[in-house]
Structure 1
Amino acid sequence: MAARMREAPFPTKRSPADWGGCRAVERSMDDDARSRLDRASRRLLFDTRNEVRTAEAQLTRRLGIDRAVRIAVTVGITVLLTGVCGTVLTWESSRFIKGDIICGTVAALCVATIVFITDGALKSRGELKADLEESRESLRRLSAHEHPPLSERRLLYREDTAGIIEQYQADSRKYRRVHNSLQSLIMIGSAATTTIAALETGKELTWQSIALTGISFAITLAAAFTGYYKYRERSYFLQQTADAIEEEANAVALGVGPYSEFGTDQQQEALKLFTQRVEDLRNEQRRRQQQLDQPADQAAPSGQPPAA
């Protein structure tokens, strides 16, 4: 037995025939289990991000549908009440028949609009919010297991800041628009109250008195808007910033001023300095804009424009 074992040693390399005719498949050295798991994890993370975007889009659409339904319901109820009140008040004379027809037509259009926009609509707002929260939670958990390099995390953060800036700017514009609308209503109402009080003096109205009252109303309104919105200051600071940026652009193009030290082979350094100086000018303009939006008793813009 020992002699036979020495004569027939165990084969160190087996041919395809020894494996039952199965040929071994060559695999890349990079195609290991770790790389496959990383690719699968990245793919799952990408799909989850798409699910979050889809859920956000569906929720936005649902909110738009709900807003349109509320507007249609409000308009429909308003015209129905108008039609009912008009009919009751003119029941004997029947002079509101044309108004009833108009109110009924508008109400029917409102009902048709509600049926059209809710036909085959999405899920309810609560269900869509729940789906969105679930998708965001899944994305957060998957992102917690990902460990990209620091450079990639910084790039991702830079891309995320674009959405944050856009959201902040949209909210700022919305609140500024509401505030300016209310402030304009206050100024117009104050000027109109003074004008109406001037007309109710018991004197006979002539074209001279009406013209004088109208001119006074216009002057009061113009003074109020000019004092509140500060159009001259805004124009002055914007033109000043534009002139400064134009000066920087001409200097970097001609290689003069602070850019005279850079040669033809140092264009990147010159552009770096140009970008920094222009960003400083833009930041200064933003600070001036914020100071102009504040009340006069809190802060005054630096570098007031010269008196006209």
Structure 2
Amino acid sequence: MAERVSISSGAITTDVLIEHRREIADLAQRIKNRRLQVLGLYGTPIVIIAALLAWAALKVFIWLNSDTPGAINGIFGGVAVVLTVAFVIQAAAEFSDELGVWKDRKTPLRELRLELALAEERHVLEARRRTPPSMDRQASYKERLPSEIVRLRRESRHYRRIHLAMQWLLFVCSAAITAVTAWFDPPQPAKGVLIGLGFLVTLITAAAGYFKPRERAFNLQQTADSIEQHATALELGISPYNAGEEVRNLELFATTVEGLRAEQRMREQQLDQPQQGQQQVI
């Protein structure tokens, strides 16, 4: 009976915390939408005025003593008309009581931000009041790790693909420079091709040296493999997770994984630093 009550209480706690998270996510999305609404509502007139001033400036400084070309008039006139229509639609959605298109019309952003801060504070207080035992938190932490491993490997594949694309572009451009140099004896049109290929090779080499996609892919894959190795050892009950008490195994597992993640973040910070800074850190 006590176990059934404990399970029911845990389910209620989970539902309450999930509801708080949904409220926070909803408020965050509403703030983003409202920011775009305000930006469009007050930014569109500014863009219209800037377009009209640019149109007038072209007339004054370039075509003062002649007629402005029809293409220029058509472009600026079309832009002004489209922006004016967009502003009218946004104003109607903001101030009209009949449309009701915008959810938070006439609502200041600071009010939404205050609601978000209060919702986060309620979530923290509720989570603190309903905090489960440490063993339950460690067990749920273990269940969340597969998604973290998938994320690390996905990012690793992403950086690996970038590195391979850079290397293949570098190979092709380097070979093309040699081929173009051998094929074209006159300086034109090979000169422009060689300049473009040489610029591309320099750009790819600099980007690869600055962003270091190969090193990032290796570090992410190494961290994912290490976390998976520890998760497998915990599941099988082998060293170092072969203690008789499950609480000790979960505590050691959480400590080890957090250490691996902290080490991964440190390696990322070192890669973001200049070469001189990396040598000082090391």
Q: Give the one of 75, 78, 87 matched to 1:105.
A: 78
After TM superposition, give the deviation of residue 213 of structure 1 in Å: 0.9
SS for the counterpart of 1:257 is coil
After TM superposition, give the deviation of residue 250 of structure 1 in Å: 2.3
Q: Is the 8 A contact 1:291 1:301 kept in 2?
A: no
The answer for the alignment partner of 2:264 in structure 1 is: 285
Q: Report the CA distance shift for 1:274/1:207 in structure 2 as closer, same or farther (over 3 A).
A: same
SS for the counterpart of 1:275 is helix
After TM superposition, give the deviation of residue 294 of structure 1 in Å: 2.1
The answer for the alignment partner of 1:79 in structure 2 is: 51
After TM superposition, give the deviation of residue 80 of structure 1 in Å: 2.3
After TM superposition, give the deviation of residue 99 of structure 1 in Å: 2.9
TM-score between both structures, scaled by the size of structure 1: 0.49
The answer for the alignment partner of 2:102 in structure 1 is: none
Q: Is the 8 A contact 1:55 1:131 kept in 2?
A: yes
TM-score between both structures, scaled by the size of structure 2: 0.53
- Cα distance in 2, alignment partners of residues 292 and 64 from structure 1: 35
After TM superposition, give the deviation of residue 280 of structure 1 in Å: 1.4
The answer for the alignment partner of 1:11 in structure 2 is: none
1:225 has 2:207 as partner: yes
Q: Report the CA distance shift for 1:91/1:211 in structure 2 as closer, same or farther (over 3 A).
A: same
Q: Write the mapping of 1:224-263 to structure 2, written as runs, cut at 5 A.
A: 224-259=206-241, 261-262=242-243
Q: Is the 8 A contact 1:80 1:103 kept in 2?
A: yes
Q: Write the mapping of 1:36-55 to structure 2, written as runs, cut at 5 A.
A: none
SS for the counterpart of 2:278 is coil
- Aligned residues: CA RMSD: 4.3
Q: Is the 8 A contact 2:27 2:116 kept in 1?
A: no
Q: Report the CA distance shift for 1:272/1:124 in structure 2 as closer, same or farther (over 3 A).
A: closer
- Cα distance in 2, alignment partners of residues 227 and 58 from structure 1: 40
Residue 104 of structure 1 aligns with an amino acid whose one-letter code is G
Q: Give the one of 69, 91, 94 matched to 2:41.
A: 69
- Structure with more contact order per residue of length (Cα contacts < 8 Å, sep ≥ 6): 2
Question: May I ask how many residue pairs the two structures share in their alignment?
Answer: 194
Show structure 1 runs of 5+ residues with no match: 1-49, 159-203, 304-308
- Cα distance in 1, alignment partners of residues 207 and 191 from structure 2: 24
After TM superposition, give the deviation of residue 258 of structure 1 in Å: 0.8
The answer for the alignment partner of 1:152 in structure 2 is: 129
Q: Give the one of 172, 187, 190 matched to 1:208.
A: 190
- Cα distance in 1, alignment partners of residues 41 and 126 from structure 2: 48
After TM superposition, give the deviation of residue 105 of structure 1 in Å: 2.2
Give 1 or 2 for the bigger CA radius of gyration. 1
Q: Report the CA distance shift for 1:226/1:212 in structure 2 as closer, same or farther (over 3 A).
A: same
Q: Give the one of 99, 113, 116 matched to 2:89.
A: 116
CA deviation vs aligned residue, 1:95-133 (integer Å, no higher than 9, x gap): 6224313321221221222222233344485xx647977
Show structure 2 runs of 5+ residues with no match: 1-22, 96-104, 138-185
SS for the counterpart of 1:286 is helix
- Cα distance in 2, alignment partners of residues 286 and 60 from structure 1: 28
Q: Report the CA distance shift for 1:291/1:118 in structure 2 as closer, same or farther (over 3 A).
A: same
- Cα distance in 2, alignment partners of residues 221 and 53 from structure 1: 40
- Cα distance in 1, alignment partners of residues 26 and 236 from structure 2: 50
Residue 226 of structure 1 aligns with an amino acid whose one-letter code is A
After TM superposition, give the deviation of residue 244 of structure 1 in Å: 0.9
Q: Is the 8 A contact 1:65 1:118 kept in 2?
A: no
After TM superposition, give the deviation of residue 287 of structure 1 in Å: 1.4
- Cα distance in 2, alignment partners of residues 257 and 215 from structure 1: 55
Runs of 4+ deviating beyond 6 Å = 52-59, 130-133
- Cα distance in 1, alignment partners of residues 194 and 126 from structure 2: 73
Identity %: 32
